[in-house]
Chains A and B, each alone.
Chain A
Amino acid sequence: MNNTHFKTFCRDISLGLITIITLLFLCNVSGVFDYGEISSKPKQMWHSLAQKDSVNTAQIIFSGNSQSIFLNPLILDSITKKSSRFFGSFGAQIEGISWFFSNSWDYLDPELLVLETHSLDSMYPTIIDSIRYARWENDYPHFNTFTPSFNYIPWSKNKFPSFSSLFDTYKFEFTYLVTGPVIKNHHLFETHPEYFIEALFPPKNNKLKGFRESWCLPISNSLLQDYNNDWIPAPDMPINPKKFQIIESIIKICKAKGIKVLLYESPMYFKHIKPQKKRQKQLDSFCQRLNTPFINLNLNPSLTRTPAYFESTRGINQHLTIAGANAVSKALALAIVEQTSLLKAKPINQNYKKVRD
């Protein structure tokens, strides 16, 4: 065998692999592929806070996950006559939301906090998120626009995870650790080019104020047919009591700061899910106990019986289309206005800090 040729070949292949890995690493570190992050983590919230447009001026803060991110701020603001802002992310759970707010009350001063209840649904945080939240417990949020993604390397104080078990059980998360969000969100060019463009060229004036325009297509004819045939609707989904503990702590902190809280449940098409009786009972009794208003939009037939408002999906989680988001925004804003006590002006808090770089 010609050793020189073989060595040259191996060298060229190694060089090629190093080039590709370096490019992937740079893409990872740039934060661009992170931008539309759909895993349960508060990075999206930090981006919004870091944009500084509505920080300290948002009078109504909406928070949740993909069930509330598509609301229309123009409709919300025009009806409530207040400025609103969304802090949340796709797949956000109440743990992440709680962590976010507990680290950012010094920078926010809303009159009202509106929480959507699907963030209470049980999706256990991954090992990576648990490690990440533990690490960030004592870490102040950073408001730099360049956010390195070294967070994905689990250098936890407490425990170094076993990579073999991580690989076996969380193959996907392990790949994520090694390659960062690039592999997980590699499809960003095609599925959400607007995220890509927004991450590269952040808009100066963010009209959507943290919300996003829905890309969901309305219920198709074939799905409507399926609803009438052998469709098995999603079952009643009661909430894990531990989640209520978390949301209770948020409500208590808000009360102490003079911030009103409202809970609402985003609707789904009435045939897509079974009536959520147990869930509703839980939420009603929880909100009554804490004297917190709760608006269940699943009880609004003008919303739930309009197929054009809902995503054409055979999965449990059904999102709003643009039309649906507009209708829900209107219904929610009117409900907020009806609860007039929610929108009384509150004294200005002199103690909150201004955002700095």
Chain B
Amino acid sequence: MGFANLFFWFALSSYFLLYWTVLNRPNQLKLRNISLLIVSYLFYASWDWRFLGIILFSSILDYIVGIKLDTTIDANKRKLLLFLSVFVNLGFLSVFKYHNFFIESAQVALNSIGVNHDLLYLNWVLPVGISFYTFQTMSYTIDVYRKEIRSTKDPFVFFTYIAFFPQLLAGPIERAKDLIPQFEKIHVFEIKAAKKAVLRILWGAFKKIVIANRLAIFVNEGYAHPEQLTGLTTVLVIVFFVIQLYCDFSGYCDMAIGTARLLGFKLSENFTRPLLAKNIKTVYQRWHITIHKWFRDYIYFQLKPPKTKFRKCINVLLVFGLAGLWHGSGLNFLFWGLMNGLLILILDPVIDKAAKVGSKRLALIPLILAHISVYLSLIFFRSQNLDHAKSMFMGLFRWESSILNSNDRANILQLGLGKFELLFGLLFIVIVFSVEYYQEYHEKRINSFYDGNGLNRWFITIALSLSIIFFGFYNGRTGANFNKTNENKQEQFIYEAF
């Protein structure tokens, strides 16, 4: 059960009424937090109850470590406690997520020196959300270690902070100093914020169900048979994947943030229009903001300040390499991370220089180049391995004699979506980016939409709801030209797999 499940919204509606009428009262704070914890654990258990033990163990360990860190003065003991927390949390992550990657790498290394010994692979299911909540809980212990925050004594507050259901599965990764205080106070129902939250949830659902699920059919079909793609279809697959990934993850985050806001909690923004960014560094300052801030604050800033440019490059590549690996256990993810680090080091100075020296138009060229490079790097992100990525890149060189001949049009329609599904998809993409453009450059107009006439908001809410119903890809809907018998996984959120 998750945001894409109707039952979740029925359950949330019931809990919402209970929360605001009974639970969220001054003398019921503990009960409220306990109810949030139970609901969060039920939510997690609905995915796979077997892994509840891991999140519980992690929470208990870090709760105790946090308290001990506050009361321990000895520096070595404090280091040991921190090491214990990081070791256990990363240990869980390593076993479930990276074991086979390490084994494969070791196998390749052993084979290269002539040792042919078969190592043990594990076929364990990855506990959903593990990459997110382990990093969230580690950030707590690190902050307590650094004495940036005091540990929380209330176990229910702490456990709920780790397992808070709106952000449990795929973030945003919240810092303790931002979220824990919100569990320690009673919230006031703000009607304006609640209405904004509903609109935000619908907007997120629109991006996910209408756009991301739709494009997933096209992209999955393209990636399943890269050798069949022409140049034009390869470009479309690449671009559509970027949009699919953005709409999928930002749509999830919108629903998470909106859901939390309905209960009075403010979560961090995780996306601020990254596709309108002016250079690559800004793309990653606006894309999955919380994870990149995590790597910046807990890895990059902890490295020795670089004295040379070379050392700075190494630091950047190290952090991006680790960020790449966080997303997935495979050389293709590592490659993706490193590639983006390189792009920042090489292209960003060019863009910034062009922007300073020349006109805005001159700065556009390296900017477009930068965005194209980021999109191309995502081929590694989406591919199963490096060979698969290579097949996709080869498609870029298969151009027919004329770009828009009938063969190319037929090829596009062979990728699972019908003509009208593609056209409506393009229309909705234009709508999303138009809204983002206004959010970026005409913030006052967006604010006036929220502050002004309620009829506009009413109309938009109904329009979004009906769009999701009539244009959404749900209930196992396949595209008009979908030919595969294999089950299409477009309904699962992409980042839940991390």
Do A190 and B485 touch (CB < 8 A)? no
- CB of B191 within 8 Å of the partner chain: yes
Beta-carbon contact of A2 and B465 below 8 Å: no
Could you tell me the dominant secondary structure of chain A's interface residues? helix
- Minimum CB distance partner of A223 in chain B: B483
| A24 within 8 A of partner (CB) | yes
B189 touches A6 (CB 8 A): yes
Q: Are B195 and A186 in contact (CB under 8 A)?
A: no
Q: Is the CB of A23 within 8 A of B189?
A: no
Instruction: Please report the C-alpha to C-alpha distance between residue A1 and residue B22 in the assembled complex, in whole angstroms.
Output: 10
Contact (Cβ within 8 A) A5 B191: yes
Report yes or no: B24 in contact with A1, Cβ–Cβ below 8 A.
yes
CA A45 to CA B24, docked complex, whole Å: 57
Which of B54-62, B369-377, B416-424, B442-450 is the interface stretch?
B416-424
Q: Is the CB of B188 within 8 A of A2?
A: yes
Encoded as 1 (CB less than 8 Å from any B CB) or 0, chain A from 177 to 199 comes to: 00000111011011111000000
A9 & B194 in contact (Cβ 8 Å cutoff): yes
B480 close to A16 (CB less than 8 A) = no
B483: A residues at CB distance < 8 A: 220, 223, 312-315
Let me know if A352 is at the binding interface, CB within 8 A. no
| Given known contacts A1-B20, A1-B188, A2-B188, A190 and B480 CB-to-CB distance under 8 angstroms | yes
A-facing residues in B1-53 (Cβ within 8 Å): 17, 20-21, 24-25
* Distance between A191 CB and nearest chain B CB, rounded to angstroms: 4
In the bound complex, what is the Cα–Cα distance between A315 and B424 (angstroms)? Answer: 27
B481 contacts partner chain A, Cβ-Cβ < 8 Å = yes
Q: Tell whether, in the assembled complex, residue A220 and residue B198 are in contact, meaning their CB atoms are under 8 Å apart.
A: no
The answer on a CB contact under 8 Å between B421 and A191 is: yes
Chain B residues with a Cβ closer than 8 Å to the other chain, count = 37
In the complex, the answer to whether A217 meets B413 with C-beta atoms within 8 Å is: yes
A13 at the interface (CB under 8 A from B): yes
Closest chain A residue to B468, Cβ basis: A186
Q: Is A19 an interface residue, CB under 8 A from the partner?
A: yes
The verdict on A190 contacting B471 (CB below 8 Å), with A1-B20, A1-B188, A13-B198 known, is: yes
What A residues does B471 contact at CB under 8 A?
A: 186-187, 189-190
Q: A350 at the A/B interface (Cβ < 8 Å)?
A: no
Give A311-345 interface residues, CB cut-off 8 Å to B. 312-315
Chain A stretch 10-62: residues in CB contact (< 8 A) with chain B:
10, 12-13, 16, 19-20, 23-24
- B71 contacts the other chain (CB 8 A): no
Question: Does A221 sit within 8 A of B, measured CB to CB?
Answer: yes
Chain B nearest CB: distance from A197 CB in Å?
A: 12
When distances are taken between beta carbons in the complex, the residues of chain A under 8 Å from B266 are: none
Determine whether the beta carbon of B414 is less than 8 Å from that of A20: no
B420 A193 Cβ-Cβ under 8 A? yes
Residues of B contacting A314 in the complex (Cβ-Cβ under 8 angstroms): 483-485
Report the separation of the CA atoms of residues A6 and B17 in the bound assembly, to the nearest whole angstrom.
Answer: 9
Pairs A-B, 9 closest by C-beta atoms: A5-B191, A191-B480, A190-B420, A190-B421, A222-B228, A1-B189, A313-B483, A314-B485, A6-B189
- Which residues of A does B touch, CB under 8 Å? 1-2, 5-6, 8-10, 12-13, 16, 19-20, 23-24, 172, 175, 182-184, 186-187, 189-193, 215, 217, 220-223, 312-315
- Measuring CB to CB, which residues of chain B are less than 8 angstroms from any residue of chain A? 17, 20-21, 24-25, 188-191, 194-195, 198, 225, 228, 410, 413-414, 418, 420-421, 424, 458, 461-462, 465-466, 469-472, 475, 477, 480-481, 483-485
A-B contact sample (15 more), CB < 8 A, given A16-B465, A315-B485: A5-B189, A6-B20, A13-B198, A16-B458, A20-B465, A182-B469, A187-B477, A189-B424, A190-B418, A191-B418, A191-B421, A192-B480, A222-B225, A223-B483, A314-B485
